[in-house]
Every structure is written in C-alpha cells, then in structure tokens.
Amino acid sequence: MSVENAPVVDVDEAAIPVEKKMYYRFESNDKKEFRVSELAIQQSETLNRLVEAMGYTSEDVENKPAIAIENIDGKTLKLVFQWCEHHKGEAIPVDDGSVPKIVEIPEFDAKLMDIDNGLLFKLIWAADYLNIVQLLNVSCKKVANMAQGKTPAQLRRVYLLPSDEEDEAAKRAAQEAQDPRAREVEEEFEERKRQGGNSFF
C-alpha cells in the first residue's frame, strides 16, 4: 500500500469510510480534523488511554467536538495517523533494555519519512508525545541512518551540531536568561578584576 493510499481520512479531502468501525475525530492545533480507526489508535499509548477514559459511543464520536491535540500541527498529525493506520493491529515492541533490537525501516515508513528535517523533527516529537513506540523507533533510526558513513565535519553539517564554543555560549545565555542578577555579579567581578582588585569581597 502506498503512502498516498494509507487510510487516514482527512475530513477536508476525503469521504467518510464505509467500514462499520468506530472512527474517532481528532483536531490539530491548526484546526485540521482527522478520522482515525479505533485499531489504529492503539498504536499510540497516549491516545488509546485518552479514548478509553472518554468512553465515547459511536454517536458521541459523531456529535461531540473533535478531540483536540494542542501541540501538533495538521501536517505532522496527518503523517502520524497515516503511520498508525498502516500499522494498525501490529504488536507494539517492548524495550527490555538488554541487547538493542535491530530496527528495520519498512518501505512504507521510509516513504512516509522522506520529508525535510524540520518536519521529521516534528514527527519524532509527535511520536514521543503520543507515545507511539515503533514510530519513534523507526524515526530515530532514520535520523541515525543520516549519520552513516559521515566524518565528524559532515556530521556537524547534517545534524547542524553546535561546536564547543557555541555550546558554551548557549549555556551562558541560558544561565543569564534564568538569573539576570548573575550577569550583573559577573560584570561587577570583571570590572573589579580590571581595576586590579584581588578579592571580590
């Protein structure tokens, strides 16, 4: 099945499915609405718990407002639900922390994740937020594969890695943003040092 044909129903674009299964409605933070099958939702621990707690009937699903997912935009959520629909019913892997499990990226997932780094970042973030273990696995594997065969210099470019200096600067900025008084103290200290004082006190 191609990515385009994955059975996520984007309300604006597609018709309501004919299968007599329960389809929940979700809304992204940019007000895009999606219908997702009950089985597909099981891939997300977060959403599964949420719908279980809500205890919706088929009528509720149709009549009540769509469930809002505040932190994820429509473009990302569409990818997430396409993935869930494609992998519905599959067992959810359990990480027992022993020898690492070998992760292979299926063809469907590879096509789904053939996206720019920004969107990939959002997808990983969404997979983590919605607790979709296998999507998180494959998306992290995708990021890991980006590093394969790269030198440290190339890695810096691929991952946009900051250097030690940039890390230091970022750390300082973060500290200062947290505590403006610390900056004043540091400046005062530097000033005294310039004036030749040995001790701050």
Site for another protein in 119-178 (CB under 8 A): 121, 124-125, 128, 136-137, 140-141, 143-144, 147-152, 155-156, 159-164, 167, 170
- Cα separation, 117 vs 153, in Å, equals 18
Contact criterion met (CB below 8 Å) for 81 and 132: no
Q: Is 195 in the site for another protein (CB under 8 A)?
A: no
Contact criterion met (CB below 8 Å) for 27 and 67: yes
Q: Which listed range, 20-28, 76-84, 88-96, 174-182, lies at the site for another protein (CB under 8 A)?
A: 88-96
Burial status of residue 4 (CB atoms within 10 A of its CB: 0-12, 13-18, 19 or more)? exposed
Q: How far is CA 197 from CA 70, 181, 183, 185, 186, in A?
A: 55, 21, 19, 15, 14
Q: Is 94 in the site for another protein (CB under 8 A)?
A: no
Contact criterion met (CB below 8 Å) for 15 and 60: no
| Residue number, 162 or 197, with CB nearest to another protein | 162
**Binding residue (CB under 8 A) for another protein from 4, 13, 65, 89:** 89
Cβ at position 143, least distance to another protein in Å = 5
**Contacts with another protein: how many residues (CB under 8 A)?**
36
Binding site for another protein (CB under 8 A): 89-91, 99-100, 102-103, 107, 117-118, 121, 124-125, 128, 136-137, 140-141, 143-144, 147-152, 155-156, 159-164, 167, 170
